[in-house]
Chains A and B, each alone.
Chain A
Amino acid sequence: MNQELEALNDELLDLLQRERTDRVAEIYEKGAAIHFATGAVEEACFYWTNALVFALQRGEWDRVERMRSCLKDHGRI
């Protein structure tokens, strides 16, 4: 796993531990982009789905639509 992703995952764990979910969807989306850029579509879909879940939770509707679209493009929803 590249260092950028490791840093993102550490940040995710830290935020979730502190129940600070305000930036979680954003970070998952970033992680998805990194995976997608390297051709790791399965991993990207995992991150997009988590981003979608957290975006839904916080009512980030633009992100919800964006994540849905990414997942739809890859036959996931």
Chain B
Amino acid sequence: MNEITPIEKMLHGVLDHVDRPVAEAHGLPNTCYTDADYLKLERERVFAPNWACIGFGKDLPKKGDYKPVELLGQPLLILRDQDDQIKVFHNVCSHRGMILVEEAGNTKGVLRCPYHSWCYSLNGELAMTPHVGGPGNNRHEDVDPKKHGLREVRSAVWMDVIFINLDGKAESFEQRIAPMQERWKDFLGVEVIHTGEDSSFSFDVNCNWKLAVENYCESYHLPWIHPGLNSYSRLEDHYHIIEDNDYSGQGSEVFQPLKDENGKRFPRIEGIDEKWDTSSEYTALYPNVLLGIHNDHFFAIQLEPKSIDRTVEHVELYYLKKEASGEDYADLRKKNAENWHEVFAEDIFVVEGMQKGRNSEGFDGGVFSPAMDTPTHAFHIWVARQLAKAA
């Protein structure tokens, strides 16, 4: 008789284990954090059928710019086309499967495969097939260029964050983003401005990507892990944010804008709900992007899973008014980036510690505080439901 694998065993009970009232629920089991084979399953059931983040539009500022990326081993290519639209393709030549591009750059007209120089236009069409019909003959009746363009992946850009739906079967992006957009409708249509290197940083963290989500969406840990933050934004100043099956996180009711020694702050956007005078919100948009909104700046963190126990966190800060991108705000931007860097760095030992703990036979998912851990529980339910969907 075939032995049941740890993954099959886990799948058998995961929904029942997790998707129940918070007081009775357990967290996702250790297999979801430690088993390399499980990651393949996660790609199929958690990432591919949903809208996952793979990068940021600011990395492709000009028409013809491209950037190779990977999503759990899938080689992809982000490209800004002639109409200034972001497109995503599988990063592979239709001919012999050669990787098309290995480094970011600009197409300067066409994407040319380095192997046999098959060329693709910016909309992915196969444009050139030199010698395909024999030396000097660039056509062959059996190789129809219309059938062999690059394979496009459904993509969308929202607040400069690039999302893809790998299996092409998810709901429309408009439907997917609607609840988040409704929550942050005051920021709809606001141009988010990235100012370059002073607003980008990353962390290479030894933890499963889900631990970064779990830690981000609860405020329970603030008093112990973020003493600086907690000195003005206390635990009791926070509220939970939960949108079932979509996102969860936390908000603060005592947002204080960063100021320099002269009291100068980033220009804020006006005409929005007065709630935003003092509130800021931090949500994890499932599966892998963490967002933060304030009346003067915004940030997005792409969680790039590298392996079952390694994640790269790409942090990008954006400003909501053009003036903030000027030289006279350079010092304040630097300070803002330093502050957020410090806060996010404080979380590293926690997520790495939880990763180590997931190897313990004395733990297999733990419990949730019914008062403080509901956003984390909501995320676990979402993951468990994705896993169970195709089971």
Interface residues of B in 109-140 (CB under 8 A from A): 109-110, 112, 117, 119, 121-122, 127-128, 130-131, 136, 138
Chain A 43-57 interface mask (CB, 8 Å, partner B; 1/0): 000110110111011
Given that A24-B109, A46-B108, A53-B117 are contacting pairs, would A13 and B130 also be in contact in the complex, using a CB cutoff of 8 Å?
no
B130 touches A50 (CB 8 A): no
| Most interface-central of A14, A21, A47, A57 (chain B CB within 10 A) | A57
What residue of chain A has the Cβ atom nearest to residue B63's Cβ? A13
B108 touches A16 (CB 8 A): no
What residue of chain B has the Cβ atom nearest to residue A1's Cβ? B106
Given that A13-B64, A16-B122 are contacting pairs, would A56 and B130 also be in contact in the complex, using a CB cutoff of 8 Å?
yes
A56 touches B131 (CB 8 A): yes
A9 touches B64 (CB 8 A): yes
Per DSSP, are chain A's interface residues mostly helix, strand or loop, or mixed?
Answer: helix
**Chain B contacts of A9 at CB under 8 A?**
64, 106, 108-109
Q: How many residues of B contact A (CB 8 A)?
A: 18
A53 touches B136 (CB 8 A): no
Given that A13-B64, A56-B130, A56-B131 are contacting pairs, would A50 and B122 also be in contact in the complex, using a CB cutoff of 8 Å?
no
Interface residues of B in 148-169 (CB under 8 A from A): none
What residue of chain A has the Cβ atom nearest to residue B114's Cβ? A49
> Is the interface on chain A under 10, 10 to 19, 20 to 34, or 35 or more residues?
10 to 19
A53 touches B122 (CB 8 A): no
B128 touches A53 (CB 8 A): yes
Q: Residue B82 at the A interface, CB < 8 A?
A: yes
Given that A56-B136, A56-B138 are contacting pairs, would A13 and B119 also be in contact in the complex, using a CB cutoff of 8 Å?
no
Given that A13-B82, A57-B138 are contacting pairs, would A47 and B108 also be in contact in the complex, using a CB cutoff of 8 Å?
yes
Interface of A toward B, CB cutoff 8 Å:
9, 12-14, 16-17, 21, 24, 28, 31, 46-47, 49-50, 52-54, 56-57
In the complex, 12 of the A-B residue pairs with CB atoms within 8 angstroms, ordered by the A residue number, are A9-B64, A9-B106, A12-B108, A13-B82, A13-B122, A16-B109, A17-B82, A17-B122, A31-B108, A53-B128, A56-B136, A57-B128
The 10 closest A-B pairs by CB, nearest first: A12-B109, A17-B82, A56-B130, A57-B138, A53-B117, A53-B130, A13-B82, A9-B108, A53-B128, A16-B109
